[in-house]
Amino acid sequence: MLIGIDLPGHAGSDQVRADLPATAALVSEAVRATVGDAPCDLLGYSLGARVALHVAIDGDLALGRVVLIGGTAGIEDEAARRARREADEVTAAALEASGDVDAFLERWVRGPMFARLGQAAQRDERRRNSAVGLASSLRLAGTGTQEPRWDDLGAAKAPALALAGTDDDRFSAHALRLARQLPDGVATLIPGGGHAVHLAQPATTARLIRHWLALTPLISTPPQSPP
């Protein structure tokens, strides 16, 4: 069974407002409502990868394995974090003022992290989002809002595979660091892919994930009873 979740501020969850910890709790609740206490795997990309890390560190799902595509445990420098929040606020305010999701998406996918995707950028899927929903996601769950979790990675409750494209220097470094600091972490860098490596190199990404899942036993971490 495969469950696809629209994160707060996106598509079918357009009206939901939540920061990262609250989003992780909502994801755990949605998964548990579907599979109960059966062990499950969790895959997230970019914002989804940051949410998946929060679930793995703080959540109480019976989590088997985690796949992080273009993930990070946060910006450690406070000034850089503040600058990212301010930049995201400017973007969110402009998006709300114009209401033009198409123009926003075109600027977004032309950025350096997505420049070579072309038709693989999934524009039609991204058009399911609204201006107000995307603005709220930037304000509440953008990278600048995330408290760095690097020191908490040792508490992750499941093996993790961190993937990044070799064209994305920043997230390649994040993937390698995640693998070093997670208790059962593995990193794989995929040639010819940027930030959205699963869109740039879908067959290679899928093959690597299937291979890792086949080699990594599915573990069950049962929900913990409150003290």
pLDDT tens-digit readout, 157-184: 999 999 999 999 999 999 999 999 999 9
Q: In terms of Cα–Cα distance, which of 166, 169, 162, 161 is closest to 200? A: 166
| CA–CA separation, 99 and 46 (whole Å) | 24
- Number of folded domains in the chain? 2
What's the pLDDT band for 15 if we cut at 50, 70, 90? very high
| Domain boundaries, position 164 | 20-74+149-215
| CA–CA separation, 47 and 27 (whole Å) | 13
Q: In terms of Cα–Cα distance, which of 87, 85, 91, 89 is closest to 105? A: 91
Are 84 and 70 found together in one domain?
A: no
Domain limit, last residue, from 141, 166, 189: 141
What's the pLDDT band for 81 if we cut at 50, 70, 90? very high
